[in-house]
Amino acid sequence: MNVSDRRKSFTITKTGFEVANEARMLLHGHKGSSVLIVEGPNDKKLFSKFITEPTCFVLIALGKSAASTAANPLRQSNTKGYLIIVDADFDHLRQNANLPHNDLIETEFHDLDTVVFESAALEKLLSRMADEVKLRSVAPTAADVRKRVYQAALGLGCLRYLSEEHAWGLSFEDLDGFSFIDRRTLSSNDNKMVDIVITKSREIDRCRPQIVNLIAQTVARGHDPRQVCNGHDVADVLAIALQVLLGNLEPSESRRFVVESELRSAFDAAAFRASGLFRAIREWEEANPGYLVLTPS
């Protein structure tokens, strides 16, 4: 987990043992129910649309580490009826998503926000927030929009990846309003982006040209952008696109939290059923007869 990612940095934290104890208490107090353990409040809000208590209770772990490490004490105590869902982050990119057991699912793409962005929820958002004429001219389909957004966010995603791989400890908070993204073309100035991140991280002595070169090398490897790009970065870039390139919104009308909220609101049962995450949950239910996570159709 990138600790500088505000979505995953919580003032109050839990340990995996604390999360496991909470899950056991819920399961003990509600016989026949299941428990879904997720990273944060936004994840709970999203999954709650497809879950009905007391069939299943959603437990917030307050971070990927606590959610993931809860698996070991739960497995050791032979606890049944729990399922953990966490963001893959860069695990698929590293090809090391070897999960400890079948009760832990990682998102098929970088994170849950990327899963939502890849769904039909994007078409619904564009129909409400984008300019139809601009869409037809610049990006006629949702796939075209995704391609443009990923291209703009890819350099930053690679920098996040490199920071984790080399333990640079860079900070990615408050990136100067994504001023390194051209509002008219959605192209990214990676030199400027690196300058902003390094300055925010107070890493003044780090070699900027070398970092930019490493980003270019990482991009050239042709990694799947859905595994590289952080969902929040994607939302930031899409918000910028809706102001000029794809729409006519004022900056106050098209901010990251607005875009994320609109996408999650548009992520309905049909979009969820089309995801790999839905199929993985159904497979878990089949392997654990007597326990349901999703509301029966």
Tell me how far CA of residue 209 lies from CA of 19, 43, 175, 218, 223, in angstroms.
43, 38, 19, 14, 22
Domain count, the chain: 2
Residue 292, domain member (yes or no):
no
If pLDDT is split at 50, 70 and 90, which confidence band does 95 have?
Answer: confident
pLDDT for res 287: 95
What is the predicted pLDDT for the residue at 192?
95
Contact predicate 148/186, CB 8 Å? yes
> What pLDDT digit, counting tens, does each position of 141-198 carry?
999 999 999 999 999 999 999 999 999 999 999 898 899 999 999 999 999 999 999 9
Residues 243 and 170 in one domain: yes
In this structure, the answer to whether residues 103 and 137 fall within a common structural domain is no
- 208 three-state secondary structure: helix
* Shared-domain flag, residues 15 and 76: yes
| 185 vs 202: which has the higher pLDDT | 185
Per-residue pLDDT, 5: 45
43/158 same-domain check: no
* Structure confidence at residue 102 as a pLDDT band (50, 70, 90): confident
Q: How confident is the model at residue 296 (pLDDT cuts 50, 70, 90)?
A: confident
Q: In which band, very low, low, confident or very high, does the pLDDT at 207 lie, cut at 50, 70 and 90?
A: confident
pLDDT at 3: 38
- Asked if 151 and 231 sit in the same domain, the reply is yes
Host domain of residue 128? 115-267
Is residue 75 located within the same domain as residue 169? no
Which pLDDT tens digit goes with each residue over 52-64? 889 999 999 999 9
Is the pLDDT score of 8 beyond 70?
A: no
Taking all residues of the chain, what is their mean pLDDT, rounded to a whole number?
92
Within this chain, do residues 154 and 76 fall inside the same structural domain, yes or no?
A: no
* Interior/surface letters 18-41, b for 16+ CB within 10 angstroms, e for the rest: ebbbbbbebbeebeebbbbbbbbe
Please report which residue ranges of 166-275 form alpha helices under DSSP H: 190-201, 208-220, 225-228, 231-241, 256-266, 269-273
Identify whether residues 237 and 279 lie together within a single domain. Answer: no
How far apart CA 181 and CA 218 sit, in angstroms, is: 19
Q: How far apart are CA 229 and CA 218, in angstroms?
A: 13
Question: Averaged over 58-80, what is the pLDDT?
Answer: 96
How far are the Cα atoms of 58, 160, 223 from residue 95, in angstroms, in the given order? 29, 17, 12
Q: Is it the case that residue 2 has pLDDT exceeding 50?
A: no
User: CB burial class (10 A; 0-12, 13-18, 19+) of residue 4?
Assistant: middle
Same domain, 154 and 248: yes
Position 76 in a domain: yes
Q: What are φ and ψ of residue 284, in 5° steps?
A: -65, -40
Same structural domain, 141 and 257: yes
* Domain assignment present for 133: yes
Residue at 214 is within a domain: yes
Query: What average pLDDT score do residues 2-15 get?
Result: 60
Q: With respect to residue 295, please indicate whether it lies within any of the assigned structural domains.
A: no
pLDDT at 297 over 80: no
* Torsion angle (degrees, nearest 10) of CA 7, 12, 16, 17: -160
Q: Is residue 236 part of a domain?
A: yes
Q: Could you read off the pLDDT of 263-290 as tens digits, one per residue?
A: 999 999 999 999 999 999 999 999 999 9
One domain, residues 121 and 75: no
Question: Is there a single domain that holds both residue 96 and residue 224?
Answer: no
Does the pLDDT of residue 204 top 80, yes or no?
no
Evaluate whether 106 touches 274 at the Cβ level (below 8 Å).
no
- Crossing angle for the helix pair 231-241 and 256-266, nearest 10 degrees? 100
Q: Does residue 82 sit in helix, strand or coil?
A: strand
- 293 lies in a domain? no
